[in-house]
């Protein structure tokens, strides 16, 4: 799929020229599963017109679908309180939507987010994984579709947690979500923040880029130029970390990433002699793969109100 790194390519959303921010590392994991054959990362680009960050080249939709399908029917479980953005989202919905309001969670997984709203709100989900769908249904969630293309209706609120970074054209996806809420209804998006300090520091070598299924990278400023044309206003915005770990873990990740930022080859050498957290014996070319930075405050949650 890969060729030489191009300096400019066309933005998949607005068609303007986007400049490269550098190559993305090869990865050996897809949807949490270790692959036999690593996937080349391509490069990170950012559009100067619409601010979208994106991976290019990308796998084709057929290649993605095949990889998602291989991830298949593993045992999906998620605890209702396991994610910070879920807790924030539920608190906002409880305070701002009337009991009985309809909420559609796109990419609802096994219903972990909606589970806390069943009983007080009408809960609907869209999910592709069969095993996860069954678990969501057992929790009282009505499944209305499998894929982004099934987003339709007139809901009071649509939520999407860690979904938009997987879609090819985020503007088209957002437009579909806005079409499927009533006027005055809300769309909640939770995703990685391309303008987080740690993301800007590491650029295309940031851990978040190395997740092969992440192809679109947003930040809060992406929403500004499209507000009036798409007919929404921003009602809530905050940044957060997915992993509120103890100081020792935070420090360890900060040190690993700083070493990698300054001298990638040094971290690679440490891994080859078995001192890194990553086992590179199976795929030695991954020795210089970026370290994780799970404790970074590199996500944001935004809630839009349709005008």
52 versus 158: smaller Cβ distance to Zn ion: 52
Q: Which residue has the tokens 């873990």?
A: 249
Site for Zn ion in 51-70 (CB under 5 A): 52
- From the CB of 144, what's the least distance to Zn ion, in Å? 31
Element of type H or E holding 177: helix 170-179
Q: How many residues bind Zn ion (CB under 5 A)?
A: 8
Contact residues for 52 (Cβ-Cβ < 8 A; gap 6+): 11, 12, 13, 14, 18, 46, 170, 216, 217, 218, 222
Q: Site for Zn ion (CB under 5 A): which residue of 31, 50, 215, 302? A: 50
The contact mask relative to Zn ion for 133-152 (x = CB under 5 A, - = no) is: --------------------
| Beta carbons of 54 and 168 less than 8 angstroms apart | no
- From the CB of 161, what's the least distance to Zn ion, in Å? 24
92 versus 217: smaller Cβ distance to Zn ion: 217
104 versus 189: smaller Cβ distance to Zn ion: 189
Is residue 132 a contact residue for Zn ion (CB under 5 A)? no
Q: Is residue 228 classed exposed, middle or buried when 0-12, 13-18 and 19+ CB atoms within 10 A define those classes? A: exposed
9 versus 39: smaller Cβ distance to Zn ion: 9
Site for Zn ion in 10-49 (CB under 5 A): 11, 13-14, 16, 47, 49
Separation CA 260–CA 258 (nearest Å): 5
Q: Which residue has the tokens 């080349």?
A: 40
Site for Zn ion in 101-120 (CB under 5 A): none
β-strands 8-10, 17-23: how paired? antiparallel
- Give the interface with Zn ion as residue ranges (CB under 5 A): 11, 13-14, 16, 47, 49-50, 52
């Amino acid at each position: 799929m890969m060729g030489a790194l191009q300096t400019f390519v066309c933005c998949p959303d607005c068609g303007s020229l986007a400049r490269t921010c550098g190559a993305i590392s090869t990865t050996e994991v897809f949807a949490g599963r270790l692959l036999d054959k690593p996937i080349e990362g391509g490069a990170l680009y950012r559009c100067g017109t619409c601010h979208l960050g994106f991976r290019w080249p990308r796998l084709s939709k057929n290649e993605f679908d095949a990889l998602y399908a291989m991830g298949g029917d593993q045992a999906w479980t998620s605890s209702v309180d396991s994610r910070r953005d879920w807790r924030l989202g539920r608190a906002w919905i409880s305070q701002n939507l009337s009991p009985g309001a309809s909420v559609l969670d796109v990419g609802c997984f096994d219903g972990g987010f909606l589970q806390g709203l069943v009983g007080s709100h009408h809960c609907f989900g869209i999910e592709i994984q069969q095993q996860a769908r069954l678990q969501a249904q057992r929790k009282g969630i009505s499944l209305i579709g499998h894929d982004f293309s099934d987003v339709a209706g007139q809901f009071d609120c649509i939520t999407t947690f860690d979904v938009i970074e997987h879609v090819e054209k985020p503007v088209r996806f957002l437009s579909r979500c806005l079409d499927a809420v009533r006027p005055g209804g809300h769309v909640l998006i939770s995703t990685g923040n391309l303008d987080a300090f740690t993301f800007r520091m590491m650029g295309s070598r940031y851990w978040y880029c190395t997740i092969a299924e992440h192809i679109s990278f947003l930040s809060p400023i992406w929403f500004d130029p499209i507000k009036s044309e798409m007919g929404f206003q921003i009602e809530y915005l905050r940044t957060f970390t997915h992993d509120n770990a103890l100081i020792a873990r935070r420090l360890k990740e900060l040190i690993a990433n700083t070493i990698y930022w300054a001298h990638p080859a040094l971290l690679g050498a440490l891994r080859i002699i078995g001192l890194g957290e990553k086992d590179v014996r199976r795929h030695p070319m991954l020795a210089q793969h970026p370290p994780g930075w799970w404790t970074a405050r590199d996500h944001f949650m935004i809630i839009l109100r349709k005008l």
